[in-house]
Amino acid sequence: ASVFENVSGAPADVIFALTAAYKADTDPKKVNLGVGAYRTEDGKPWVLPVVHKADHIMVDDDNLDHEYLPILGLENFRKASAKLILGENSKAIAEGRVGAAQCISGTGAVYTGASFLAKHYPFKNAACYISKPTWANHRAIFEGVGIPVLEYPYWDAETKGLDLKGMLGAMEAAPSGSIFLLHPCAHNPTGVDPTPDQWKQIADVMEARGHFTFFDTAYQGFASGSLDKDAYSVRYFVERGFEMFIAQSFSKNFGLYSERAGNLTIVAKTPEIKNTIESQIAKAQRAVISNPPAYGSRVVSLVLNDETLYKEWEENLSSMANRIIAMRQALFDELVALGTPGTWHHIVDQIGMFSFTGLSTPQVKVLKEKYHCYLTDNGRISMAGLNTKNVKYFAAAVDDVVR
């Protein structure tokens, strides 16, 4: 008999299963709106030209070897990542109270911050509050390290916008010292972000209640096309003196999905506390991955630390952001032209990779089975899956399912 006889199987990951179903579909009209990965106008993955350049620089560099990186990763990458999110003239960086740990992409950065909190956060039994809805891995990661997870209202189905009142109410009601997971920009899955005035109100309550801020940013530069604009909320919180963790992913904004390039930026009150946190993270990281992979962080570091490459990266970023914004407009225009029942303004108002369409699970089922359009059951579509050749087809399919 097997010692594992009584282990029950786990369900397959929803997003990865959706991609598999799309791949298996032989209909030429099929549309993949599931996974959050950028696609070109031809529906193909895109190696950013600046990344292609960095690839070649690395191949030609005879001084590069395959030695281990330090436990906390590539120094130039960590520094540049922190500067990217906090800004060129960050006071916190100048004061020496910003730390960083290279992690296994954004997922690893959230995990690393969460496991530090599980062990060292002084408010015992503090819960982590995540937005309703949020990226499914947030719950899985925090529960996985033993932190209880609760939700705060976020999406207002009525207005198809932000439920600010509900969000602030939950922050008021949560026990002092709770952990709040916030998306700085391009909220996944809704594409709805607070305005600067709303961020102020959020910060006021977070401060008054003594909550801990955990930002998770996977789309800096990808949302508006501007790296600074997309970092607004984080920099605003730092300016106000919050202590915080910021998980950063370079999967989307560098197109480095498989290279697992990510960083956990730590903004502490003092350089000493920053050092203590880094030392504990290094100790924990040693026992999980020993040290992070070099390739993706080298690409990012090359680009972030070179003025010419950086400029080129910004252009690459805007071209992705602009294509997505254009597809929002195209989808909206098609639906309006068809006179599709309902309001569709939210599609152009939302930002980033995703649109939360408001389509119901049964409608999604018809889109999948009758029209070969693949999207998650909650009605989220990855805008990158649309292009000028399929947007008309998708709009007509939506029009049919909502009638």
In the residue annotation, 399 being an active-site residue is answered as no
Q: Which of residues 133-172 bind ligand PMP (CB under 6 A)?
A: 135
Choosing from 30, 46, 135, 199, which is the catalytic residue? 135
Q: Which of residues 173-202 bind ligand PMP (CB under 6 A)?
A: 183, 188
Candidate list 30, 31, 34, 36; residue touching ligand PMP; CB under 6 A? 36
CB of 218 to ligand PMP, least distance (A): 4
| Torsion angle in degrees (nearest 10) through CA of 383, 386, 392, 393 | -110
CB of 34 to ligand PMP, least distance (A): 11
Should residue 355 be labelled a site residue for ligand PMP when binding is judged by CB under 6 A? Answer: no
Choosing from 163, 193, 216, 230, which is the catalytic residue? 216
Should residue 218 be labelled a site residue for ligand PMP when binding is judged by CB under 6 A? Answer: yes
Instruction: Give the 3-state secondary structure of the chain.
Output: CCCCCCCCCCCCCHHHHHHHHHHHCCCCCCEECCCCCCCCCCCCCCCCHHHHHHHHHHHHCCCCCCCCCCCCCCHHHHHHHHHHHHCCCCHHHHCCCEEEEEEEHHHHHHHHHHHHHHHHCCCCCCCEEEEECCCHHHHHHHHHCCCCEEEEECEECCCCEECHHHHHHHHHHCCCCCEEEECCCCCCCCCCCCCHHHHHHHHHHHHHHCCEEEEEECCCCCCCCCCCHHHHHHHHHHHCCCCEEEEEECCCCCCCHHHCEEEEEEECCCHHHHHHHHHHHHHHHHHHCCCCCCHHHHHHHHHHCCHHHHHHHHHHHHHHHHHHHHHHHHHHHHHHHHCCCCCCHHHHHCCCCEEECCCCHHHHHHHHHCCCEECCCCCEEEHHHCCCCCHHHHHHHHHHHHC
Q: Which of residues 257-276 bind ligand PMP (CB under 6 A)?
A: 262
Should residue 107 be labelled a site residue for ligand PMP when binding is judged by CB under 6 A? Answer: yes
CB of 107 to ligand PMP, least distance (A): 3
CB of 62 to ligand PMP, least distance (A): 31
The piece of 75-83, 103-111, 300-308, 372-380 that touches ligand PMP (CB under 6 A) is 103-111
CB nearer to ligand PMP: pick between 105 and 112: 105
In the residue annotation, 135 being an active-site residue is answered as yes
The piece of 75-83, 102-110, 159-167, 196-204 that touches ligand PMP (CB under 6 A) is 102-110
CB nearer to ligand PMP: pick between 106 and 113: 106
CB of 256 to ligand PMP, least distance (A): 9
Should residue 214 be labelled a site residue for ligand PMP when binding is judged by CB under 6 A? Answer: no
Question: Residue 296 and residue 103: Cα distance in Å, rounded?
Answer: 11
Candidate list 178, 251, 350, 387; residue touching ligand PMP; CB under 6 A? 251
In the residue annotation, 216 being an active-site residue is answered as yes
**For 100, phi and psi rounded to 5 degrees?**
-155, 150
Should residue 249 be labelled a site residue for ligand PMP when binding is judged by CB under 6 A? Answer: yes
| In the complex, residue closest to ligand PMP by CB | 106
CB nearer to ligand PMP: pick between 135 and 332: 135
CB nearer to ligand PMP: pick between 218 and 264: 218
Interface with ligand PMP by CB under 6 A: which residues? 36, 105-107, 135, 183, 188, 216, 218, 249, 251, 262
Active-site positions? 135, 216, 252
